Amino acid sequence: MTDSWATFGADLHVELRGPGLRSGLMDALREAVRTGRLAPGTRLPSSRSLAADLGIARNTVADAYAELVAEGWLTARQGSGTRVARRAAPRPGPGTGVRGGSRGASRGGAQAGPVPVRRPPVRRPAAHTLHPGTPDLGSFPRGEWLKAARRALTSAPHEALGYGEPHGRIELRTVLADYLARARGVYAHPDRIVVCSGFVHGLRLMAQVLRGRQVRDVAVESYGLDIHWNLLTEAGLRTPALPFDEHGTRVGALGRQGAVLMTPAHQFPLGGALPPDRRAEVVDWARRTGALILEDDYDGEFRYDRQPVGALQGLDPERVVYLGTASKSLTPGLRLGWMVLPEALVGDVLAAKGHSEWVSSALDQLTLAEFIRSGAYDRHVRGMRLRYRRRRDQLVAALAERAPDIRVTGIAAGLHAVLELPPGMERSVVQSAAWQGLAVQGLDRFRHPDVPPGRDALVVGYATPTDSAWAGALDALCRALP
């Protein structure tokens, strides 16, 4: 421990009182780095010993450290513990080509006190978040992934590292075709798969293709994500909302729209599966009118209480554009998704993708191909299904005990649940959660602007916390409920 910690650590106890321990600790550390009170390179005590020292939970310290590492204030390296980041030397002046001082400094022991860089203010994250849409990042199988990367990169031909082709790597498309047929009932073939950097990229490409085909309206569901609606709007498409009843989206209301964007296997965020008669009905509509169905299969792998609902795409591969992603099943950081396209659309989508430099990392594509091929993907999905199911059961049990009036729906599948609230309570519950340091979203957040306000509810992403943060998040949720 260097001297700069010794003097700072002595004061630290005083500054940490009351609620918001973790964010308080983060603020104190940030300020100390910013002002130079903690010198660059200073080694921090282990999370265990600082936690004991401060009389707080070790996870609180570990989480604060991790977040500060992520923000660039601290660095963590195996074997050398957590340290204050050695930030860049004073900015090089224009035209001088001055060497930044950090390389030299990062080797030496003593520092000449490089000027800490003032970063723009960071929005302080809540202590816990139950926002839907992110898997448990702590469960990303780093070791297995690295093994697959080694195998993939060792055996890849040199050519695989080049600019590649707009479809994406053939290795990945080949294993995806097999996997999607097997796991999701998708009629897939490598030639009609186009790799993209996630659902949003795929939707952007489709928006471009639809506009090019003079489509004006893409129907959407009553509840969904504003980023998807906005993307379509920015591409010049209108997004009329379809009505919704207790069985799900009323596809019978579809008319002259050129396409519909749907989550048939697991409505986001309400959680139901589109019933079989409506599946048939929407496909009939598309056939009759020549329209397209954009199927957002964002979490199709995660089903708990019943047989998986296969992809709608299997019903008519020439009318359904299937969009899948590794963002929920593995991690959003991969930025890999896939489209399975009607044969007639492949050319248009490739043209929309552009004439060169096709976005997705070849190394990651090769690694994911090997990860799927070797069976590691199936094992990971199976393991996560059990873990998420356990969390869901813990959520249901905790609510039954501590908030027995709250009905939980949409829990047969996926990574989130809907907690029905008494009328008029949604906003106050979200606020009360914020006071508990819990970020959680109300259903209103997901309501299409055309749809009148209806039920009050929370959309709880129970997959989002890491294992160590889950119990605290669940507790904060229960405390926030009426």
Run of H or E including 461:
strand 457-461
Distance CA 304, CA 271 (A): 12
Binding mask 117-136 for a copy of itself (x = CB under 8 A): x-xx-------------x--
3-state SS assignment for residue 336 = coil
Encoded tokens for 341: 């396209």
Identify the residue among 161, 386, 434, 471 touching a copy of itself (CB under 8 A). Answer: 161
How far is the C-alpha of 115 from the C-alpha of 92, rounded, in Å? 12
Q: Between residues 13 and 103, which has the closer beta carbon with respect to a copy of itself?
A: 103
For 72-148, list the strands marked E by DSSP.
Answer: 74-77, 81-84, 128-129
> Of the two residues 107 and 256, which places its CB atom closer to a copy of itself in the complex?
107
Q: In the set 37, 58, 189, 211, which binds a copy of itself (CB under 8 A)?
A: 189
CB of 232 to a copy of itself, least distance (A): 13
Which is closer to a copy of itself, CB of 59 or CB of 432?
A: 59
DSSP 177-196: HHHHHHHH-----GGGEEEE
**How far is Cα 327 from Cα 323, in angstroms, rounded to an integer?**
12
Q: Kindly give, in sequence order, each residue whose CB lies less than 8 Å from that of residue 176, ignoring residues fewer than 6 positions away.
A: 188, 190, 193, 338, 369, 372
Q: Which stretch binds a copy of itself (CB under 8 A): 148-156, 236-244, 431-439, 474-482?
A: 148-156
Choice from 2, 174, 428, 432 touching a copy of itself (CB under 8 A):
174
Token duo for residue 58: 């070790």
Site residues for a copy of itself, 318-337, by CB under 8 A, read 327, 331-336
198 binds a copy of itself (CB under 8 A): yes
Q: Minimum distance from CB of 220 to a copy of itself (Å)? A: 17
Q: Does position 354 bind a copy of itself by CB under 8 A?
A: yes
Judged by CB, which is closer to a copy of itself: 88, or 398?
88
Assess 227 for contact with a copy of itself (CB under 8 A).
yes
Q: Is 307 in the site for a copy of itself (CB under 8 A)?
A: no
Single out the segment in contact with a copy of itself by CB under 8 A; choices: 4-12, 115-123, 250-258, 285-293.
115-123
Quick one: the chain helix, strand, coil %, rounded to 5?
45, 15, 40
Asked if residue 208 binds a copy of itself (CB under 8 A), the reply is no
* 318, 343 contact by CB (below 8 A): yes
Query: Binder to a copy of itself among 56, 57, 170, 412 (CB under 8 A)?
Result: 170
> Hey, how many other C-beta atoms are within 10 angstroms of the C-beta on 179?
19
Task: Specify the residue, 316 or 444, whose C-beta has the smaller distance to a copy of itself.
Answer: 316
3-state secondary structure of 117: coil
Asked if 139 and 465 count as a contact pair (C-beta separation under 8 A), the reply is no
Instruction: In angstroms, give the least distance from the CB of 271 to a copy of itself.
Output: 22
Within 425-454, the residues that bind a copy of itself by CB under 8 A are: none
Stretch that binds a copy of itself, among 12-20, 174-182, 390-398, 423-431 (CB under 8 A): 174-182
Q: What is the dihedral of CA 8, 11, 14, 20, to 10 degrees?
A: 0
How far is 213 from 321, CA to CA, in rounded Å? 15
Contact letters for a copy of itself, residues 73-112 (x by CB under 8 A): ---xxx------x-xx--xxxxxxxxxx-xx--x------
Q: How far is the CB of 448 from a copy of itself (least distance, A)?
A: 17
Helix (H), strand (E) at residue 196: strand 193-196
Decide if residue 355 touches a copy of itself (CB under 8 A).
Answer: yes
CB of 378 within 8 A of CB of 348?
A: no
Site for a copy of itself in 450-469 (CB under 8 A): 466
Q: By CB under 8 A, is residue 191 in contact with a copy of itself?
A: yes
Q: Considering the complex, what minimum distance in angstroms separates the CB of residue 161 from a copy of itself?
A: 4
Q: How far is CA 202 from the centre of its chain?
A: 16
- The DSSP symbol for 226 reads H
Q: Give the Cα separation of 200 and 91 in Å (integer).
A: 36
Map the footprint of a copy of itself across residues 372-411, applying CB under 8 A. Answer: 373
Site map (CB under 8 A) of a copy of itself, residues 9-48, x = contact: ----------------------------------------
Q: Collapsing DSSP states into helix, strand and coil, what is residue 305?
A: coil
